[in-house]
Amino acid sequence: MGYCDYLKNLLRPLGIYDLSDGSLSASELEALGRGLDGAEAAINYTERESALPTAEGEGLDLWESLFANTPVHYSTELRREAIAALLRIGGDSFTLDAINDTISGCGIKALVQEKEEFGYVRVIFPEVAGIPEGFEQIRTIILDIIPCHLEVEFYFRYLTWAECHARGYTWAYVHQKEHTWYSFQLDV
């Protein structure tokens, strides 16, 4: 039910207006109803786009304009998570837990691990085989998040010969799946 119907139902009990189709009063209420419907649609759009959990297009673009680098866009949900992670960065974000909490600001799931050597960390992408799409953009954001005094090593996941042996892969399997060398090494 639009605002036109709402206004007609509101005024009908008074009995002093001709609300039949084509009457002057009905036409005026239809015009007012269209204007109120448009205003409601604009308010709903603004409300949706201004809140990060519901923003879809323009709202996400405006949130991202707050940052020097924008996350890689894989999906709307990952985009929202990345913006939320970037918003969590603060002056006390230098512990490993805090860095891992905000590192998803790059746009995909990433984890930072301390290496045995002091001052060195490794960044892994547990849900991605090989080098993630848009890696240069991801790398820039990660290097902005991780404290600059740490040396960062990026670790990419590929199929190992031990995994091939453990799964019982044969060259017949590789040919059956029509793998190229590149697609085979990503079959993790």
Q: How far is it, in rounded angstroms, from Cα 67 to Cα 11?
A: 51
User: 111-123, pLDDT tens digit by residue?
Assistant: 899 988 898 999 9
- Report the pLDDT value the prediction gives residue 39, as an integer from 0 to 100: 94
User: Same domain for 66 and 128?
Assistant: yes
Instruction: Specify whether 66 is located in the same domain as 111.
Output: yes
Q: Give all strands of the β-sheet with 120-129 in edge-to-edge order.
A: 111-114, 120-129, 151-157
pLDDT at res. 92 = 67
Q: In terms of domains, do 136 and 169 share one?
A: no
DSSP 75: -
Across 101-130, b (16+ Cβ under 10 Å) vs e yields: ebbbbbbbebebeeeeeeeebebbbeebeb
**63 contact partners, CB below 8 Å, separation of at least 6:** 52, 55, 83
Asked if 44 and 117 sit in the same domain, the reply is no
Distance CA 16, CA 13 (A): 8
Kindly state whether residues 34 and 67 are assigned to the same domain: no
| Whether residue 128 is found in the same domain as residue 75 | yes
Domain termination residue (choose one: 14, 34, 50):
50
Residues 91 and 153 in one domain: yes
Are 128 and 78 part of one and the same domain? yes
Q: Are residues 25 and 67 in the same domain?
A: no
Counting the structural domains of the chain, the total is: 3
| Same domain as 34, residue 96 | no
CB 121 within 8 A of CB 146: yes
Query: Are 44 and 105 in a shared domain?
Result: no
pTM: 0.62
Positions in the chain short of pLDDT 50: none
Which residues span the domain enclosing 179?
159-188
CATH of the domain at 84: 1.10.287
Tokens coding 6: 């709402």
Same domain, 46 and 132: no
Q: What is the pLDDT of residue 102?
A: 80
